[in-house]
Structure 1
Amino acid sequence: MSASVREAMLARRSAPKVTEAAPDDTEIVDLLEAAGRIADHASLRPWRFIALRGEARNRLGDALAAAAGLDGEHGARLAAKPLRAPLLLAIVATTTVHFKVPAWEQEAAAAGVAHQLSLLLDDAGWGVMWRSGPHTRHPLVAEMHGLADGERLLGWLYVGGVPAGARPGRGPEIGAATRFSSLA
């Protein structure tokens, strides 16, 4: 593990290319135990993850192509995108009607868990990239995942092994001072 949370965050990079190695379900659940400790108003735990491996990735690709209304070569290219990693973790916000916690806040909590999970996976040596797209919330894609009423897909963490020599170094500064202000 990294020396500090800050160092792990500064070292994190999206991994657009990964190998066929992937963490097993036991490792994912173990990491979710830590990732799930986000700020969660009313402790609703408004999130869940679905692991897509093997043929499930092909079914997702078919659903994406159908949602886009594409067939032929264009449909095949879109359908192949979920095959970029051996493991896709679908990020699902499981919102419920709550008198104190609006749906947007529940989705933010689910996104927080996903981001922390991506940091933990990266810190454990896995390549990770959060992907989404224009058809993430299409009914055909929701059906492929077996989503229930009140569940919304936020995207997928594409996870796999890091190719030899591919661990990038620390990226450029982000200019946080230009994204911060203070009111008194």
Structure 2
Amino acid sequence: MLVRRSSSKVTDVSPTHAEIVSVVEAAGQLADHSGLRPWRVIEIRGDARDRVGDGFAKAEGKKGKDAEKHRQKARRAPLILAIVASLGSKKVPRWEQEAVASGVAHNISLLLDEAGWGVFWRTGSLTRTKAVRKAHRLEANEELLGWLYVGGLPERARKPRARSRVKVEQHLSSL
């Protein structure tokens, strides 16, 4: 964890579906109030990424060349994993269900990084737009939290780089 870094530039290789299945299975083993598993992951590859880009463009009212820019954003990596909170419980607060889905996303990111893949997380206001929800075929009780873009690590990114460490005294206190 101390050497993990986001990789905003990735190559065109990506984990196989079988590798993603294994990663998602492991990532889902986290603390979860009432064992709800209020999340799902959408695996997006190939031309399906254009559906996501078209959703981005529609959400921002873009057409033509402007829409193509959004398609390119969705093609920044050969694999996109959309992280979805599936909110169903009245007993467990919504924020807790979204926190579990976020935890799964972070676990996936750590597992893929550990396996040598480049991973970067993207979020933003588009996640909650009607066009982007429709592009991902979300159910009424679901919220898109963001996307993990996944691909191979370029050679230059394989070299360990110094990273500033957390100043623990600023984030850890006692009562």
Q: TM-score normalized by structure 1?
A: 0.90
* Paired-residue identity, %: 53
CA RMSD of aligned residues (A): 1.3
Structure 1 consecutive aligned stretches of length 4 or more whose deviation exceeds 4 Å: none
Q: Does residue 130 of structure 2 align to residue 139 of structure 1?
A: yes
Q: Measure, in 2, the Cα distance between the counterparts of 1:114 and 1:170.
A: 25
Aligned partners of 1:127 and 1:160 also within 8 Å? yes
Residue 103 of structure 1 corresponds to which residue in structure 2? Answer: 94
Q: Measure, in 2, the Cα distance between the counterparts of 1:181 and 1:73.
A: 51
Residue 163 of structure 1 corresponds to which residue in structure 2? Answer: 154
Q: Measure, in 2, the Cα distance between the counterparts of 1:23 and 1:116.
A: 16
**1:9-158 equivalences in 2 (<5 Å):** 9-99=1-91, 101-158=92-149
Unmatched 5+ residue regions in structure 1? 1-8
Q: Secondary structure at 2:157's aligned position in 1?
A: coil
Alpha-carbon offset, residue 31 of structure 1: 1.1
Unmatched 5+ residue regions in structure 2? none
Q: Measure, in 2, the Cα distance between the counterparts of 1:67 and 1:146.
A: 15
Alpha-carbon offset, residue 75 of structure 1: 3.2
Q: Measure, in 2, the Cα distance between the counterparts of 1:25 and 1:72.
A: 33
**Cα deviation digits, residues 122-171 of structure 1 (max 9, x gap):** 00000000111221111111111111111110001000000112124241
Q: TM-score normalized by structure 2?
A: 0.94
Aligned residue pairs, count: 174
**Cα deviation digits, residues 36-83 of structure 1 (max 9, x gap):** 111100000011100111111111101101101123443332331011
